Amino acid sequence: MSPGTTTQSLLLPGGEFAMGSSDFYADESPVHRVRVEAFMIDRCPVTNAEFGDFVAATGYVTVAERPLNPADYAGVPAADLAPGALVFTPTPGPVDLREFSQWWRWVPGARWSEPAGPGSTIAGKADHPVVQVSFEDAAAYARWVGKELPTEAEWEYAARGGLDQATYTWGNELRPRGKLMANTWQGHFPYDNQGANGWIGTSPVGCFPPNGFDLSDMTGNVWEWTTDFYHPKHDPGTDSCCAPGNPRTLDPAGSAEPGSAIPRRVLKGGSHLCAPEYCLRYRPAARSPQAVDTATSHIGFRCIQRTPSPTGEDG
């Protein structure tokens, strides 16, 4: 591990579990058996401090800080192609929840160290998860520390914490004994946020209860990148005798949003912006597509290390 990187990794034993859900959103189905081999996973999402160490050591420039390629954004005026990222902005009051552009703004100059745009800061948030990182940024950090990003199957297995088919990472009850278990939107979305245990926006990693594998923030706080390209249904495979081993969607064809050529990958875990009336996705089975070139104020990541199998192949 590189100097200054402090994330603790835990060894998960691997095993078989039922992936997906048939009770919520259509893209979580069908439920199917999956097997993953043992792997190490970061206990928490990568923090601002850790990502800052990476940038300081390597001079890395994130995707949000680079000029946009006009060929990828047909019809967009050149003046609107300044480097930047998407920033959540609360609305003044209730709005039609079918139109997300009402609370998301493209902000030139927004980047990981100024996540809300020029003049904003991460001062005092060294232990908060880094945001405004694209898939490429997350993968670059993972390589620097000698790790990888998880597949969707690995991520979901870790999030379940040994509770096969439980609704949440901690069980089936939203608030066991009245306790808030994750950093999610508290109030009326997208205009009234009462704060999750006092936190509006991201919270320090590890300040909500861990799951059964002692992993923190597997749901809520920030969405997390996986390596799978997004498709609107799980592919359960065709082998009727055995659960597939760590399946992964490697083909980007068909993953882009209609009208776009930019592929999308699967995000997992939900975030501090998830509210039950709009985004009930703070669950291990939940998934969301995200364009690989786009950074936002509610997406981060964590890393894994796969342990070699007895045959010398990864699971």
Task: Report d(CA 177, CA 312) in Å as an integer.
Answer: 46
| DSSP 8-state code for residue 152 | H
CB count within 10 Å of CB 255 equals 21
Would you state the pLDDT for residue 314? Answer: 46
Q: What are the pLDDT digits (tens) for 205-249?
A: 999 999 999 999 999 999 999 999 999 999 887 655 678 788 899
107 is written with which tokens?
């902000």
Q: What is the pLDDT of residue 313?
A: 44
Q: Could you tell me what percent of the chain has a pLDDT over 90? A: 84
Alpha-carbon gap, residue 233 to 30, rounded angstroms? 7
pLDDT at 146 over 60: yes
| pTM of the predicted structure, to 2 decimals | 0.93
**Which single residue is written with the structure tokens 């990981």?**
112
- Mean of all residue pLDDT scores within the chain: 92
Q: Which residue has the higher pLDDT, 73 or 66?
A: 66
Residue 4 reports pLDDT greater than 60: no
Question: Residue 239: its pLDDT value, please?
Answer: 58
Place of tokens 């160290």: 113
Peptide bond into 190 cis (omega under 30): yes
- Would you list the domain boundaries of the chain? 1-315
The answer to whether residue 1 scores a pLDDT higher than 50 is no
Query: What CATH architecture applies to the domain 1-315?
Result: Alpha-Beta Complex (3.90)
What is the separation of C-alpha 242 from the centre of its chain, rounded to a whole number of angstroms? 29
pLDDT bucket at 308, cuts 50 / 70 / 90:
low
For a pLDDT cut of 70, what percent of the chain falls above it? 94
Query: How far apart are the C-alpha atoms of 138 and 58, rounded to whole Å?
Result: 14
pLDDT at 3: 36
- What's residue 2's pLDDT? 39
Q: What is the mean pLDDT of residues 10-39?
A: 96
Find the mean pLDDT for residues 16-21: 96
- The pLDDT, as a whole number, for residue 171 is 97
- What pLDDT was estimated at residue 6? 60
pLDDT of amino acid 247? 87
Instruction: Give per-residue pLDDT as tens, 240-277.
Output: 567 878 889 989 999 999 989 999 999 999 999 999 99
63, two tokens: 């995707």
Q: What is the pLDDT of residues 39-48, one digit of tens each?
A: 999 999 999 9
Q: Of residues 262 and 308, which shows the higher confidence score? A: 262
Mean pLDDT of 161-166: 96
Q: CA 240, 20, 289, 102 torsion: positive or negative?
A: positive
The predicted model gives 193-197 an average pLDDT of 96
- Comparing 69 with 37, the larger pLDDT belongs to 37
Average pLDDT over residues 193-202: 97
pLDDT band at 76, cuts 50/70/90? confident
